[in-house]
Structure 1
Amino acid sequence: MPKPLIGVTTYLEQARWGVWDLPAALLPAGYPRLVRESGGLAALLPPDEPDAAAEVVSRLDGLVIAGGADVEPVRYGAAPDPRTGPPARERDAWELALIEAALAAGTPLLGICRGLQLLNVALGGTLVQHLDGHTGAVGVMGRHPVVPVPGTRYAALVPETASVPTYHHQCVDILGKNLTVSAHAPDGTVEAVELPSPAWVLAVQWHPEMGEDTRVMRGLVAAARERMG
């Protein structure tokens, strides 16, 4: 059977390589590595017109909404906190459209960090715009334990308390419609959310692409393979 094709969203940034300094669609190499190690094929999805989202999703077996910039607070009806980062409006519009298309089509969906926050916002939830203790130094991953909620999809994948790589300063405030919390940090921060079956929709607040544990991504790839028939 062919390997599932997993789309992964990308950053859109000014970047330098060789003699070039240009706008670039880019993604940390850990994301495609994690997809590959989990049995899938990675396809990078740079920001595009939101109207194209349904067509793109129709060609995928699974979708990953990657980490990155803070979600613009206007998306959930809030004024920006001074500590909220600059908006990434093209990504917000594109990735919200991808989430909507994936949910409508039943395409397996995994959100990572920003991806969890954007899924929550897409379903009517809100965010805490700043919290401490969930990063290392600037540009350095922190680590902390994550405790699964028994009976959830996440707990079926990772039944034990796990130490995870983490780098975020925002988190879920009001939970989006129909979402279930499936893991917490010791301080009570929501660390994973999911939608009930039959959809395969799971989002985690940490960065599995920066670690060695493939179980969450393997769950997505397995769901994508099952959907392929």
Structure 2
Amino acid sequence: MQQPLVAVSTDVRQFDNYTWHAAPQQYIEAAIAGAGVFPLLVPSFGDRLDFDELLSSVDGVMVTGSKSNVHPSLYGGDPSEANGPYDPARDSTTLPLIRKAIERGVPLLAICRGIQELNVALGGTLGTEIQEREGSLDHRAPVSENQDERFGIHQTISIKPGTCLAGVFGAGDIKVNSLHRQAIDRLG
């Protein structure tokens, strides 16, 4: 059996006087070790990329998490510095890629920022700085140099019987990690 090829979103970062297109290792490692797929990093060049050609060549798309947030101008929000950092090159790539993947029926896994991108791509909005909302949990990563601590499993979610997720994990409570400052506001 041929190893499935999965397109993976990238962030744009400045480092050592270069512009880099990269994805966090934990997502790439999970793709390889957990799912057994070959991750193909997709540079964030927006409409300079032929998404139809890309999607004809891959078995799926994974839109990863990131430290950056979806730019509020894409969903009618407040583009203040407090809601950053932003990655407009990533936004210009992931949003059309998500729409094309859905249109073509290509399997899509959206994680963390990826879920927020998915909602915006489908016309939804995001709430920012959710840790400041009355009654909301603080979903930000604990301050630590240790990645295992930062990404540790520490929140409980309830999976309802009869849902798609219950078909994978079973119904009931499970522990997850959840690291973000934005969340879905109006569902797309």
Match runs of 1:153-172 below 5 Å: 153-159=164-170, 160-172=172-184
Runs of 4+ in 1 over 4 A off after TM superposition: none
Can you list the C-alpha shifts for 1:182-209, whole angstroms capped at 9, x where unaligned? xxxxxxxxxxxxxxxxxxxxxxxxxxxx
Taking only aligned residues, the RMSD between alpha carbons, in angstroms, comes to 1.7
Aligned to 1:46, which of 43, 48, 53? 43
Moved more, 153-162 or 66-75: 153-162
Checking the alignment, whether the CA contact within 8 Å between 1:53 and 1:94 is kept in structure 2 is: no
- How high is the TM-score relative to the length of structure 1? 0.70
Checking the alignment, whether the CA contact within 8 Å between 1:12 and 1:47 is kept in structure 2 is: yes
Q: Quick one: higher RCO (CA 8 Å, sep 6+), 1 or 2?
A: 1
Q: Percent identity?
A: 35
Equivalents in 2 of 1:72, 1:102: separation in Å? 21
Equivalents in 1 of 2:80, 2:14: separation in Å? 25
Checking the alignment, whether the CA contact within 8 Å between 2:96 and 2:121 is kept in structure 1 is: no
Equivalents in 2 of 1:171, 1:120: separation in Å? 9
Change (3 A) 1:34 1:141: closer
Checking the alignment, whether the CA contact within 8 Å between 1:5 and 1:60 is kept in structure 2 is: yes
Match runs of 1:105-184 below 5 Å: 105-132=104-131, 133-138=138-143, 140-141=150-151, 143-159=154-170, 160-176=172-188
Report how far residue 87 of structure 1 moved.
Answer: 2.2
Checking the alignment, whether the CA contact within 8 Å between 2:63 and 2:114 is kept in structure 1 is: yes
Structure 2: tracts of 5 or more residues without a match: 132-137, 145-149
Equivalents in 1 of 2:87, 2:118: separation in Å? 16
Moved more, 150-159 or 101-110: 150-159
Equivalents in 1 of 2:165, 2:43: separation in Å? 28
Report how far residue 158 of structure 1 moved.
Answer: 2.0
Equivalents in 1 of 2:40, 2:90: separation in Å? 17
Change (3 A) 1:147 1:93: same
Can you list the C-alpha shifts for 1:110-133, whole angstroms capped at 9, x where unaligned? 001010001111111111111111
